[in-house]
Structure 1
Amino acid sequence: MTDPARRDRLRELLDAVVDADNTDVGDMARSSFASEFHFSREVRRLTGESPAALRRRIMLERAAWRLRGGERVTAVAADEGWSSAEVFSRAFRRSYGVPPSRADNVEFRLPAPNGLHFHPPQSLWLDSDGDKKEPDISQLMVAHDIADTAYLIDTSTTLSKEQWQEHISPGQVVLDWDGEEPSVGAVLGAIVWTKEVWLATIEGRDFPGREPTQPESTTPEQLAAHHADLGNRWSAMISDYTAEGRLGDTIIDALCDPPESFQLYGIIAHVLTYSAHRRQVARGMLARCGVETRIGDPLEWMRGN
């Protein structure tokens, strides 16, 4: 059963509006388990259009796209729910300024108060609000990485001490210089420790000890607390350098032989790449312990947040 808190109500309402079986607002309302009054009010509140006007425009856009693809007017009119080809033709001319026979001369999108349009072949497209700041993909990935890591560590609190430390995958190595990660605790600890190492490098701190992230010396609860603090620092560091336009700054690590240089944005990409890999490895290991987890998809996480 769908968690009500995670339902996409706009998506449900739009499904009802464009469903071919719903010939009027009453049908739309019943299919979305709402009264006709409430359904109409919600659609207008969320889209700025009445259900009937929204449906009519979306169907006209889809019809125009189909006509541009060479389909016959009579077939399109019937499929899109018009009572006759003549009625459809009049509606098309009023909306596009040309008859259906000249659909090739028009863009199938019509003016909309909400940026919501038909999207070929059977989807809808909602334009973003141009007045708002463009979404930052890197910020999304950083936030999701921290949240998903916290989720997996929290999920691991259901494991026994033996399961947390058990060598489920003997000899498992993600990166040679990090050594073996044979247990759930080792994999999740490596995610946290990697951020700690790079933060120390960026902040000019001493190289951190690994004991607080080793499964033999820490519990999931302790690792969770350690990660919460570290995640906040990691996120704040990225935000600060981003705001200052300094993600292109370079660190020259003299401890390497020979010395190596790392740009900040490359460090962040490195951490995110191997964190994502380890999180999926941890999911597989948890499954072998009989623990179910969410799949870790950013899209799933966005729906819940």
Structure 2
Amino acid sequence: MTGKDRLRELLDAVLDEQHRSLDEMASGAHSSPYHFTRQLSAGAGEPPVAMRRRVMLERAAWQLSRGATVTDAAFAAGYESAEGFGRAFARAYGHPPSERADGDHWLPAPNGIHFHPPMSLWVHTGEHTMTQPLDLLVHHDLDDTRDLIDLAKQLTDGDYRRELSPGARVHSWEGEEASVAAVLTSLVFTKEVWLAAILGEDFPADRPDHVGALRRRHDDVAPRWLEMLRDMERRAAWDDRIVDALCEPPESFVLGSIVAHVLTYDAHRRLGVRAMLRELGVDADEGDPINWLRRRTEATA
């Protein structure tokens, strides 16, 4: 059997309706889970579980566009609940599955392999997605912010709002960020306000900062922020400019510089809030992207 035929066999095992787990995929390809993962990752540049999850979401998006219910699409994609499917769909597409969206159902892929109706794979050789370093920086920022918000749930409200660094400011034109609450709020609000400026939306008005609300705000803005960056990459729009009418007076900004600004100061804030959490007795790791990527890879292998 040629290498190309073997890769096709591996891909068929990923897509088989009966193969819901890594063990089942590997068995369908007459391989062990370890060797199956290694072979597919080497041949397609994507672990099998991650590929199946993405392709099933693409199929679900196509089914929804043709009138399927969210519940039917969720179970067909292998999810145990519509709620879990809804969260995964929103993270991937930037909007809930109940919100119909016109256009392409394909998600960014490292290999150009996508769902093609009614149930096959399509290899798109000209696909262009975010470069790996940028993609990792963006995803690490979003994942790490979410994890830090979750760690803050261990604090009492008093500790959450305690001013541990009086007078601390990231920018001279912004307010103090002296508490865990203030820093985490800035991490979320920064994306909300830049998203509004770039997309021409209204300035976010309702901004509750207690931990539960902050997590919901993050879960809302994160997929939309990610989709906006992917769109910039697809359109090669990094050098485009926007005029932010929310500024007084209005200012012009290069889109690529906005992304660099957010990633730079988000990294600064995340390191700072880690120190605060440790001071308050919360076990916070170092936030190293190397360790984050290892955990992420293991979780999808």
TM-score band by shorter chain is: 0.5 to 0.7
TM-superposed CA distance for 1:183, in Å, is: 0.6
Note if contact 2:197-2:245 (Cα within 8 Å) is conserved in structure 1: no
Quick check: 255-264 or 236-245, which moved more?
A: 255-264
Show the 5 A alignment for 1:148-159: 148-159=144-155
CA distance in structure 1 between the aligned counterparts of 2:212 and 2:223, rounded to whole angstroms: 17
The structure with higher relative contact order (CA 8 Å, sep 6+) is: 2
Distance in 2 between residues matched to 1:242 and 1:275, nearest whole Å: 21
Deviation (angstroms), 1:261: 1.6
- Correspondence 1:198 to 2:194: yes
For the aligned residue pairs, the C-alpha RMSD in angstroms reads: 2.6
Who is 1:301 aligned against? 292
3-state SS of paired residue (1:180): coil
Partner of 2:234: 243
Tell me if structure 1 keeps the 8 A contact 2:185–2:209. no
Distance 1:248 1:160, change over 3 A: same
Deviations 1:151-209 (A, max 9, x none): 00001000001011111111111112221011101001001001111000001012223
Q: Output the amino acid matched with 1:165.
A: R
Q: TM-score, with normalisation over the residues of structure 2? A: 0.54
**Percent same amino acid at aligned positions?**
44
- Does residue 1:278 correspond to 2:269, yes or no? yes
Paired letter, 2:283:
E
Aligned-partner Cα distance in 1 for 2:223–2:248: 32
How far has the Cα of 1:253 moved from its partner?
Answer: 2.9
Q: Which has the larger radius of gyration?
A: 1
The CA deviation string for residues 78-98 of structure 1, in whole angstroms up to 9 with x for no partner, is xxxxxxxxxxxxxxxxxxxxx
Q: Deviations over 1:66-108 (max 9, x none)?
A: xxxxxxxxxxxxxxxxxxxxxxxxxxxxxxxxxxxxxxxxxxx
Q: Measure how far apart 1:241 and its partner are.
A: 1.5
- The one-letter code sitting in structure 1 at the alignment partner of 2:139 is A
Distance in 2, matches of 1:141 and 1:257, equals: 31
Q: Distance in 2 between matches of 1:162 and 1:208?
A: 26
TM-superposition CA deviations, 1:45-81 (whole Å, max 9, x none) = 969xxxxxxxxxxxxxxxxxxxxxxxxxxxxxxxxxx
- Which runs of structure 2 are paired with 1:1-305 in the superposition (5 Å)? 135-209=131-205, 212=207, 217-254=208-245, 256=247, 259-305=250-296
In structure 2, the partner of 1:94 is none
SS at match of 2:282: coil
Unaligned runs of 5+ in 2: 1-33, 40-126, 297-301
The amino acid that maps onto 2:260 is A
**Letter paired with 1:248:** D
Structure-1-length-normalised TM-score: 0.53
Contact 2:242 2:253 in 1 (8 A): yes
* Whole-angstrom distance in 1 between the partners of 2:151 and 2:243: 38
> How far does residue 258 in structure 1 lie from its aligned partner after superposition?
5.2
Q: Report the Cα distance in structure 1 between the residues aligned to 2:171 and 2:198, rounded to whole angstroms.
A: 21
Corresponding pairs, count: 177
Question: What amino acid does structure 2 have at the position aligned with 1:138?
Answer: L
Q: CA deviation at 1:254?
A: 4.5
In 2, Cα distance between equivalents of 1:261 and 1:233:
22
